[in-house]
Structure 1
Amino acid sequence: MSADPDHVLFVTILDTGSIAAAARTLGMSPAMVSKRLARFEHRLGARLIERTTRRLHPTPVGARLHADLGAILPALAAAEARVTGAVAAPAGPLRIAAPASFARLHIAPHIGDFLRDHPAVELELSLSDHIVDLAADRIDCAIRITAHPPAGHVARRLAGNRRVVCASPAYLAEHGEPDTPAALARHRLLAADGQLPWTLLRPTRRAQIAGVSHVRTNSSEIVRELTLAGVGIALRSLWDVGDALAAGRLVRVLPDWEGAHDLAIHAIHNDMPRPAVIAFVDHLATRWSPPPWETLDSRRASDQIGIN
């Protein structure tokens, strides 16, 4: 069974972020993409995407469908390829690009199992916080934390990227704990260059946090270490600070608020990936379902409820 074209179209629209970008990726006109999306929504009897002047956003039911199809479509393609004999055993060079901190914490621990399962793969990791050009840098697959996957490539969503406001117990003991987003203006904020202002969300509410970092740095890793050292308050991804939150070395500030939910962790590759690429992405998807950093946060929250 081939993938439903409407499913592919729907996923492409959300992955690329716009009707126009999806049209370029699919080789169609924007008008035709819009018409087919409307027809698909009518067929299902549900609105899947909210159209705004700036960006498209999935409705709750659309987000669930997107998550389901993100796992189903690659598996369906792989299954069909196996039937036709197109998939060989993963082998040969495999160049993966990823952000340094994320790779150290959440990719490196799974490399051993992957290579034991696929001993013929020759793995090379290229770590950088800069966006790489897959073609120019000869990268087979990039693990990227982004709200806007690049057009012209396949972007498989592997996990969300929840961000929370946090500080060390020592900082809060000395400076007090803000009880509203506006109160953050009286505190020492920590962020790498380009990471301020912050957008914080809670149900039906949004807050914009302006300011400058108490320590200027271009390194997100330094921001994490400064936060642990009690220098200030930071907005950090759970994948980065989940362990510190679970251990009590950091504490969530304004726990009802989180960073904007636009960022997600994607695997980016071309539309004809080699077996080694498919195997590597599937390997990570399995290890991050559910994301282990989300489990850490949930466990810490449960412990705090029990204490109270």
Structure 2
Amino acid sequence: MTNLGDLEIFSRVISMGSMSAAGRALGLSPAVVSKRVKRLEERLGTRLFQRTTRQISLTEAGQGFYDRIVGILSGIEEAEAFVSGRSGAVRGTLRISAPTSFGRMHIAPHLKGFMDSYPDLVVNLVLTDDFSDIVGGGFDLAIRIGELSDSSLVARRLAPVRRVLCASPDYIARHGMPATLEELSGHICLPPHTQDVWRLEGPDGSVTYRPHGSLYTNSSEVVREAVFSGMGIALRSTWDVGPALKSGELRQVLPDYEGSRNVVLSAVYPSRQFLPVKVRLFIDYLAELYGSHPYWEH
């Protein structure tokens, strides 16, 4: 019978992307991880990974095997979490995916308070502007900013997200302040992607506007730097630019219009019968920290 420890190592290599990273997370050397994976392959009589000098990827057999064991490992973790919750102990690794800017500004500074309360818990925070595959990526939960859609995942709303149009005083001095939404067509806009549409709430209700510009990027932080440097007008969240609006480093454009109110900050996690204690505790921590009137709005 296959050793459950070998299955956990195999799963961790997939979620971490390399044997060395998996070893660090599990407290094992890369050599031990490699040996345990090889032992599992020998036990199964098939190759699970394709290995090159730069990367590691699943074979077709490896993918099929992972798809079949991930639920088993999840069930074991839930059972341990149930017992841990009854005993008051919280252990293991909490793997979180979050947007790059938000994670840097509003999660990382508050991790110490959470981790001080649970010293036996290891937190693995992965920052990315892409929507991570929670199950396939081995995440316990993801923090997401956007409109909630129907899916097999469970989402808990953490805080509202208010987004405003803004530009630097230098840009306004050079190009003028638009007085109507129609006048935006004569301005340089900074949408993150070429196909993005700005969904706005205005005096006459919901409207959409397709912005046009000369800079397109998949990085929200690049857009942020561009608006601060005076390149154009952007739709930004107040959690991101609130202090700059207050100090005058940025100016709000068309204050009668704001981003769609359907965009919210949420914690998303796999739909499970039993929510692991470590996940519930972290979600509760963020919900209390942000609340219906988050501190960045003050």
TM-score (norm: length of structure 2): 0.67
- What displacement does 1:211 show? 3.5
Q: Distance in 1 between matches of 2:207 and 2:179?
A: 13
1:293 aligned onto 2:296: yes
User: 1:241 maps to which residue?
Assistant: 241
SS of equivalent to 1:287 = helix
SS of equivalent to 1:244 = helix
SS of equivalent to 2:166 = strand
Which structure is larger by alpha-carbon Rg, 1 or 2? 2
Q: Distance in 2 between matches of 1:287 and 1:194?
A: 35
**C-alpha distance 117-149 of structure 1, shift in aligned 2 (>3 A):** farther
**C-alpha distance 87-148 of structure 1, shift in aligned 2 (>3 A):** farther
Q: Which amino acid aligns with 2:205?
A: R
Greater Cα shift, 264-273 or 104-113 = 264-273
Q: Per-residue CA shift, 1:17-38, capped at 9, x if unaligned?
A: xxxxxxxxxxxxxxxxxxxxxx
Count residues in correspondence.
213
SS of equivalent to 1:97 = strand
Q: Distance in 1 between matches of 2:205 and 2:131?
A: 32
For residues 116-155 of structure 1, what are the structure 2 equivalents within 5 Å?
A: 116-149=116-149, 151-155=151-155
**C-alpha distance 196-269 of structure 1, shift in aligned 2 (>3 A):** closer
Q: Distance in 1 between matches of 2:221 and 2:100?
A: 9
- What displacement does 1:132 show? 1.4
- What displacement does 1:203 show? 4.0
Q: Distance in 2 between matches of 1:204 and 1:109?
A: 39
**8 Å CA contact 2:95, 2:125 repeated in 1:** yes
Q: Which amino acid aligns with 2:97?
A: A
Q: Per-residue CA shift, 1:63-118, capped at 9, x if unaligned?
A: xxxxxxxxxxxxxxxxxx99xx7474322111011111110011001101111111
Structure 1 outlier segments of 4+, above 6 Å: none
SS of equivalent to 1:242 = helix
Tell me, which stretches of 5 or more residues in structure 1 are unaligned?
Answer: 1-80, 296-308
For residues 224-303 of structure 1, what are the structure 2 equivalents within 5 Å?
A: 224-270=224-270, 271=272, 272-289=274-291, 290-295=293-298
1:169 aligned onto 2:169: yes
Q: Distance in 1 between matches of 2:195 and 2:251?
A: 20
- What displacement does 1:223 show? 0.8
- What displacement does 1:218 show? 2.0
User: 2:10 maps to which residue?
Assistant: none
SS of equivalent to 1:157 = strand
**RMSD after superposition:** 1.9
**C-alpha distance 246-89 of structure 1, shift in aligned 2 (>3 A):** farther
